[in-house]
Structure 1
Amino acid sequence: MDYEKLFRLDGQRAVVLGAGGGIGREAARALAAQGAHVVCADRDTAAAGETASLAGASAEAYEIDLLDQDAVHRAARELGELDTVVLTAAANVRKRLLDYSREEFDRVLALNLGATFETLRAFGKGMTERGRGSITVFSSIRSLLVEPGQGPYAATKAGIVQLVRTAAAEFGPSGVRVNAVAPGVVETPLTEPIKADPAWYQAYADKSALGRWAKAGELAGAVVYLSSPAASFVTGSVLFVDGGWTAVDGRYSPPGA
């Protein structure tokens, strides 16, 4: 093992699906900084182009609608041999179950779980045939812990974990690794409704052991790690990057503690 290149991705080709902003944008920038040629894929081509510009000369933009399964499989063919696939795109409708419509449920399910399923199938096929590759999908702390108003979102994030584990078991004999990253609360466009409420925002900050929210860039290291030689024996894992959220049992500190 060449420890000087433990996290380097020189000569590798990567695609980040959902690279138009938030965690996806920072993941693309981080992968490029470690030497990868990065395809910044997003439905918003202008945003994907902006990410590619930020990532540098080794990056390019690509338009994709992850809700179109044919487009996902077409991308897997058009982008050629890839070493790394990262899927960050997600949707959430914050409503209690009794207020949820079936249309809203299907919308969250289609992107969070449906796109994960198609990504694993489309890109996993070529990787298993070539005998190498890494796929990283984003789950959430909600795969373990729920709160009112996040039922369908939590269900999809739990489902992602099981899809990742299954893919790891099925692709592993061919040399392909599949893992998930599970963030805590992160400042992204998806969490704007929470940030807009100061009390809600602070309550989430107080829940983590570090007492704050994460910046999107703080998830990029997990992506680089799982994509790099440093994680060559890591597959079927869920890496929690949550500031200690899942380690803390409630917000109450007993007297004398």
Structure 2
Amino acid sequence: MSDRPGNLFQLDGRKAVVVGGGSGLGRASALGLAEFGARVVIADLDTGGAAETAEAIRQLGHEASWRELDVRDGAGIGELAEAESDAEVLVVTPGINVRKRLVDTVDDEFDRVVDVNLKGTYRLLREFGARMGERGRGSIITFASFRAEVVEPGQGIYAATKAGVVQLSRALAAELGPKGVRVNAVAPGPFETPLTEQIKSDEAWYGAYARKTALQRWAKADEIAGTVVYLASDASSYVTGSLQLVEGGWTAIDGRFDPGV
């Protein structure tokens, strides 16, 4: 940890691997880390999006590269972790959702969401965690969701996987803490990203989400960057095993009725 407060958030000289950095919150995270000095590697199944994010970072005068990665491919994840074994920051953002009531779902839908959201995260934690532990330093940031804490009809499988991500993160924090590696989960609330297009297209659904937050609005993708930079940097040097809510106050308030008192 730096002994100069002015440097606490700086990431100069550190390599950050952002999985899912080709779009949405992953892209915003990658841009934020680069702005604070990190050398960013974008890993994504969407190679076009990954290349665009890397180019956007380079246009800002920072260093970035990209690689193709499918989080369902265990061998590919192992190859990435070995190739980027000097990474000091890992950000894991990929997620998919099937918005259907549980009694209407089928095994294939369950397996698909679990394989990406939970098992994909597990594979990345295992491979990068082992290498960071050997080197004695690192910060891993997983993306859960406020749905790990609160649910609504039609979000059961997604919520279960995101709760699992939180517990995997806490377990790895406990296991790697003595080796100098921190692991934290981020829980975004209603952010405008490709994953929430279905909600945004429904005016009643979209408006209800905005009204439930204390701030009475949805978040823009770049509003996640500050939390990611904080968790990646020495500013959070004593923070591990935590769930960082970024949900506009959703879970802090009731939100159903505003009494006239």
Q: TM-score, normalised by structure 1?
A: 0.98
Counterpart of 1:77 (choices 79, 82, 91) is 82
Partner of 2:236: 231
RMSD: 0.7
Counterpart of 1:117 (choices 119, 122, 133) is 122
TM superposition shift of 1:80 = 2.7
Matches within 5 A, 1:38-57: 38-56=40-58, 57=62
How many residues align? The count is 256
In the alignment, the residues of structure 1 paired with residue 161 and residue 135 of structure 2 have an alpha-carbon distance, to the nearest angstrom, of 30
Matched, 1:2 2:4: yes
Partner of 1:107: 112
In the alignment, the residues of structure 2 paired with residue 121 and residue 67 of structure 1 have an alpha-carbon distance, to the nearest angstrom, of 14
Matched, 1:32 2:37: no
Contact 2:213–2:255 under 8 Å retained in 1: no
Contact 2:211–2:255 under 8 Å retained in 1: no
Unaligned runs of 5+ in 1: none
Unaligned runs of 5+ in 2: none
TM superposition shift of 1:254 = 1.8
In the alignment, the residues of structure 2 paired with residue 165 and residue 130 of structure 1 have an alpha-carbon distance, to the nearest angstrom, of 20
Contact 2:85–2:128 under 8 Å retained in 1: no
Matched, 1:17 2:19: yes
Matches within 5 A, 1:135-214: 135-214=140-219
In the alignment, the residues of structure 2 paired with residue 138 and residue 80 of structure 1 have an alpha-carbon distance, to the nearest angstrom, of 21
- Structure 1 stretches of 4+ with a deviation exceeding 2 A read none
Q: Which amino acid aligns with 2:12?
A: D
TM superposition shift of 1:78 = 1.1
In the alignment, the residues of structure 2 paired with residue 251 and residue 25 of structure 1 have an alpha-carbon distance, to the nearest angstrom, of 33
TM superposition shift of 1:250 = 3.2
Q: TM-score, normalised by structure 2?
A: 0.97
In the alignment, the residues of structure 1 paired with residue 229 and residue 171 of structure 2 have an alpha-carbon distance, to the nearest angstrom, of 22
Partner of 1:88: 93
**Cα shift readout 1:43-85 (whole Å, capped 9, x = no counterpart):** 1111100000111240111111111011111100012311100
TM superposition shift of 1:238 = 0.5
Residue identity over aligned pairs, in percent, reads 56
